[in-house]
Structure formats: C-alpha cells, structure tokens
C-alpha cells in the first residue's frame, strides 16, 4: 500500500503535469471507484481546471475552481499521465481527458481505490480526513504519549492506527521499530514519554528520507514511471539480514507481515 512518502511523491510528480489544465471529459470504466453518483461527479468536475493538489496522510486532494475531490490509492492504485496514443490498460478505471490532449489515468489492479467529491474549503474538517491523527512532523509528544499510555496493543499495531499518526503504513512501521531497536510486539503502553518523543522524531526522519528518495517501490508503486529509491535503504522490511548481519524474522502481527531482528530488537519487560 502506498504510504505517506509514496503519496507525496505522486503529488509532487502530478503537480508537474496537470496543474492549470482543464478537464475536457471523464470516462469512468469502473464506477465503484467513484463514491458519489458517477454522473454528478462528472458534472461537477468536467470543464474545471486543476488548481492545486494537497495531501493529508495517505489521501490526495485535487482542488478545482469550486469543488475538490479526495482520492485514496488503497493497495495498488496509481495515476499515470498518458498520451491519447497510449493503449488502454485493463486496469485503467478512470480517465480524465485534459485540454492539452494528454490523459490522467487512474490505474488500480485491485480496484480498491476511491474518489469522493468534497468541499474545497472545508475538506479537512469532513470525513474521512477529520478522523486522521496528525502526521509525525506535526505530532505533539504529550498528546501521543497520553494516547499510548493506556494502549494494550503492540506498538507496531499502534503505528498503523491512522487516527493516532497519519501516513505510516506497514513498511515504515517496520523500519521505525528497527531504527529504535524496539521489538514490534512491545506494548504501546510500555513506552516512556522519552521513548514517545524518540518515536515521533525517528518516524519524521524516516518518512522525510523516503520522500527525498521518491518513496519505496514495492510491487506496483510507481509515480508516473518514477520509481522510488528508498527500498535500497530498507533495513528489515522484506530483508533476509539486518545491517548487523543477523537473520531477520517475519511474523504476522495483527494480520500484518512484520519483519524484525530478534537480536537488535530484543523484547524487554
């Protein structure tokens, strides 16, 4: 699933291709991608211009003149800029025809991604964005500590809770735990305030480094053909050895594949 760095990379890439371009028409091949009535969506968006792209957590917000729509890529959604000569893929589900004869195509192998119309001025106060926690870059140590100190769940599971910290997914949660020498099965409530401060700092650092490298390319993530390079810096996720040469162990934690080093990330009481 694309996480915060991947979605930020998509945002920055698309800004170079679609801003100030008008949508001449929309073709919706798989209607379930659109959470609104498809005809209403088309009526509100056709003949409007892309003015800005925002990102909140893992969500993209495309802002037009008098309306906006939120897009969540879910598992394997991606946007691609194509010419009209480019053959249609069987996984292209929504096509925006732009006034320079290029096309913005939403491609999604699993068809889990969604788009929804929102008010362009108040979208952050509406569902689903108003249910998200702050991103690590803006998180308050005291607030996160208070949220964690009563949580009996594993810290890895807590990191995946988007209402706690927005933008962290499975890959970066594994990497954050390793960077902190923290066993992912450690109870969230066991972290001291000092460790929570470190958690926020480490999370911010790793996400920023991944953004600089264009995200992590695993399976099908690609920002219009621009593949992320952070995967070459992954320490534990999908690795066989950690940087210290120890064997990586993979377990399922709350249904999520979890990679960690039992030596570097020893469980503590």
Q: Of residues 151, 187, 197, 256, which has the active-site annotation?
A: 256
Q: Are 73 and 109 contained in the same domain?
A: yes
Say if 146 falls within a structural domain. yes
Active site residue 156: no
CA distance 223 to 227: 6
Active site residue 135: no
Q: Of residues 5, 58, 147, 184, which has the active-site annotation?
A: 58
Say if 269 falls within a structural domain. no
Sheet bearing 114-118, strands edge to edge: 52-56, 59-63, 68-72, 114-118
Q: Which residue, 131, 160, 175, sits at the end of a domain?
A: 131
| Residue 110: count of CB within 10 angstroms of its CB | 11
Active site residue 22: no
Q: Of residues 3, 6, 135, 175, which has the active-site annotation?
A: 3
pLDDT-derived band at 221, boundaries 50, 70, 90: low
Helix axes 4-18, 193-212, angle to 10 degrees: 40
**Residue 100, both tokens:** 């320079």
Q: Are 158 and 57 contained in the same domain?
A: no
260 forms bridges with which residues in the sheet? Answer: 249
Active site residue 85: no
Q: Are 229 and 157 contained in the same domain?
A: yes
Predicted structure pTM score:
0.91
Q: Are 106 and 58 contained in the same domain?
A: yes
Q: Which residue, 115, 131, 147, sits at the end of a domain?
A: 131
3-class SS of residue 257: strand
**Average pLDDT, stretch 8-31?**
95
CA distance 42 to 25: 8
Number of domains in the chain: 2
pLDDT 10s digits, 162-204: 999 999 999 999 999 999 999 999 999 999 999 999 999 999 9
**Residue 234, both tokens:** 């992954």
Q: Are 81 and 33 contained in the same domain?
A: yes
3-class SS of residue 125: helix
Q: Are 199 and 96 contained in the same domain?
A: no
* Domain ranges, residue 24: 4-131
CA distance 154 to 158: 6
pLDDT, position 212? 86
CA distance 171 to 158: 14
pLDDT-derived band at 229, boundaries 50, 70, 90: very low
Say if 268 falls within a structural domain. no
Helix axes 193-212, 141-148, angle to 10 degrees: 110
Say if 26 falls within a structural domain. yes
Contact present, 253 and 183 (Cβ < 8 Å): no
């Amino acid at each position: 699933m694309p996480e915060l760095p991947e979605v930020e990379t998509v945002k920055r890439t698309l800004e170079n291709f679609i801003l100030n371009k008008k949508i001449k028409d929309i073709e919706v091949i798989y209607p379930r991608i659109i959470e609104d009535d498809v005809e209403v969506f088309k009526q509100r968006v056709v003949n409007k211009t892309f003015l800005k792209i925002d990102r909140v957590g893992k969500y993209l917000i495309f802002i037009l003149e008098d309306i906006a729509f939120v897009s969540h890529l879910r598992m394997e959604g991606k946007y691609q800029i194509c010419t009209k000569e480019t053959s249609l893929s069987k996984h292209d589900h929504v096509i925006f025809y732009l006034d320079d004869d290029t096309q913005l195509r939403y491609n999604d192998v699993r068809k889990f991604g969604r788009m929804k119309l929102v008010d362009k001025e108040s979208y952050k106060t509406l569902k689903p964005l108003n249910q998200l926690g702050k991103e690590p870059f803006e998180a308050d140590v005291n607030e996160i500590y208070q949220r964690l100190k009563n949580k009996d769940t594993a810290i890895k599971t807590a990191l995946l809770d988007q209402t706690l910290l927005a933008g962290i997914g499975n890959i970066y949660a594994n990497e954050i735990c390793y960077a902190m020498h923290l066993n992912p099965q450690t109870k969230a409530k066991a972290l001291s305030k000092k460790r929570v401060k470190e958690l926020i700092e480490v999370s911010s650092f790793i996400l920023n480094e991944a953004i600089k490298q264009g995200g992590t390319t695993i399976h099908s993530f690609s920002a219009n053909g621009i593949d992320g390079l952070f995967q070459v810096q992954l320490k534990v996720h999908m690795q066989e050895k950690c940087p210290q040469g120890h064997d990586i162990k993979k377990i399922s934690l709350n249904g999520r594949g979890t990679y960690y080093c039992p030596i570097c990330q020893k469980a503590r009481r």
